[in-house]
Amino acid sequence: MNHRSRRAAGIAAAVAFAASCSPRLPPLTGEVVPARVPVPSLPAGSRKLVFEYRYHDSDVTLRGDGAARTTAPDSVRLDFFVNGENVGNVIVIGDSVVQARPGISRRLLPPVPLLWAALGVFRVPPARDTAARVDSDTLRVEIAGAPAWRATFMGTDLLRLDLIEDGRIPQSLIRVSATHLHFEARAAGRSLDLIIQSVDTLPPFDASIWR
């Protein structure tokens, strides 16, 4: 086997191992209901959320503080600090990352739909094939597509969003409580916890924060 073949075999083995680390998607349970998906969104106006974060992957473990500044309907800026030093920021508008600097921000950033889910916002593209089941006060909605998603709601509150690939869940965002958010990318060995310390409603932000 030549070097290229060995490398291809190694990549294939790594992909297979990573897939095996992701839990299988459990079946939808409960009573079948019409597939009407709640669409929670940002509260009106501008807000600032202050949080502590804990990040871990195979290369680094980080702890620090951060702030999320949001403006309805679809703008958020995240700043991350370690020991009081700004180590990066991310600006997301709608479904696009318009800025992420420096590199540490890209390391911390979940996929955009999961980032929005951390803010309680549901931003998954609609799909023709959608299934929904209700179990007591919990609604689970499975949205087919590439990728596919499963969203879990209690009333209109988004509690959990799972990415689905090949019948497995490689990445999830879970609202553990009103103040504790947990992102996990199991196959990649990445996790991010945000502990919200305060939420304040503010006057409109200066336009410069979105650049």
State pLDDT tens for residues 164-199: 998 899 999 999 999 999 999 988 889 999 999 999
DSSP conformation letters of 139-152: EEEEE-SSSEEEEE
Condensed to tens digits (0 to 9), the pLDDT of residues 149-161 reads 999 999 889 999 9
Range of the domain at 21: 3-210
Rounded-to-integer distance, Cα 115 and Cα 95, Å: 10
pLDDT at 103: 64
- What's the CATH code of the domain at 34? 2.50.20
Which residues on adjacent β-strands are paired with residue 150?
A: 142, 162
Q: How many domains does the chain have?
A: 1
pLDDT at 74: 95
